[in-house]
Amino acid sequence: MLELLVYLHDPELVARFQRRCGLFLIEAAHHSGGKTRVSTGTQTHADKPRGQLKDRRDHQEKHSNCNVKYEENGGAVGGHGRPQYEVRNWLLYFLFLLSAGLGHEFFYITCLPCIHWNLDPFLCRRLINIWALVMYVGQVMKDVLKLPRPLSPPVVKLETRVDAEYGLPSTHAMAATSISFTLLLSATSRIQFQFEVGLLIAVVLSSLVCLSRLYTGMHSVLDVICGALISAILMLLTYPYWETFDHFQLTSPISPAVALVLPLLLSYTYPELGHYSTTRGDTTTILGAGAGSSVGYWVNEQLGQTFEPRGVLPVPLPTLTANALAIGTARSLVGAVALVGTRQIVKTVSLWALYFWYGVPQSDRNARRRREIEVPYKFVTYTCVGLVNSILVNRVFILLGL
């Protein structure tokens, strides 16, 4: 079993997948007679004695404590700090980069709210709840287990922002699995659609995101498998209580207090590391968005304006006409502008207030990494984003005739 785990965590396995998909380190490419021969200088797993496998693990553990910057984690970089690589299959390159984007903030702040604005707020609420749970568990596990990301070389790393984070589990894999299958399971009681088609879409989307983490060189095969399995286990354990929690979230008088206090407490008590990592800030962002959305949905329920589909459930899937497409596009653009605008305004104001409170010069951008500044500014910012998404945007649509 240990040998299997070491094999699945081997960076050479990721590098082989990248080469199969047409992504090569420049330093590993040697051209001869118009043909390309790849030589990474790294033995394959089959050629490695057990002692060398242990040396690889020791080498990775040694690097895990100093991977604050990409260069310090063994990354092959160019003159401007970018990895030097060669792309020989541009179709897969753009496909996997697009798939990887489904796990970034841009997707969460646009596509998830679009489900609320154009389909059913119930589904958006359910997705945000599960998303916040699995992402918090995944982020904490990363910083508790402290298993490093794949080394470069032999791996090509296409993302450098999160390279200071640890690897296992892959939160992209966790988010993709939970969002895809939570939407599938929840939509069956709300919207009429062919389940087999929905299942195929869920499998394809989650698989693309998982494979993208290998292609971008940010996770080992073990990271991705564990991420998907942990997400599936969390869904299995919580599924019997989804309806109970939904009722509590919408009707309990203490729901707003729980929704705000618990995530803020979890953000402040997030595990400390010996170096700065984006995990605490990203986790606070997710918890803040979940808290704001939860309070907003509770407010809508108290006001009797939930903006949910009317009629006998499940309702027919809306027909995609030119008019419906135009309205949906307009809603998405107005909503995205509202959320991004809220984010920028509240972020600027909250940072100014915190810098003033702690006597920090406004020019000191590194100060926002301190817990006493990072946690409150991110939590307040994204709580406001969640509130605007769940309360204000639909009302703006009514005013605009959308």
Q: Pick the catalytic residue from 116, 172, 247, 275.
A: 172
The answer to whether 172 is a known catalytic residue is yes
- Residue 37 has a CB neighbour count (10 Å cut-off) of 10
Residue 116 and residue 102: Cα distance in Å, rounded? 17
- Of residues 107, 102, 285, 138, the one with CA closest to residue 223: 138
Residue 91 and residue 264: Cα distance in Å, rounded? 42
Whether 84 and 29 have beta carbons less than 8 Å apart is answered as no
The answer to whether 116 is a known catalytic residue is no
First to last CA, the chain: 57
Whether 18 and 24 have beta carbons less than 8 Å apart is answered as yes
Handedness of CA 334, 398, 183, 264 (dihedral sign): positive
Encoded tokens for 81 = 């700090």
> What backbone phi and psi angles, to 5 degrees, belong to 190?
-115, -35
Residue type, 240: P
Catalytically active residues are 172, 219
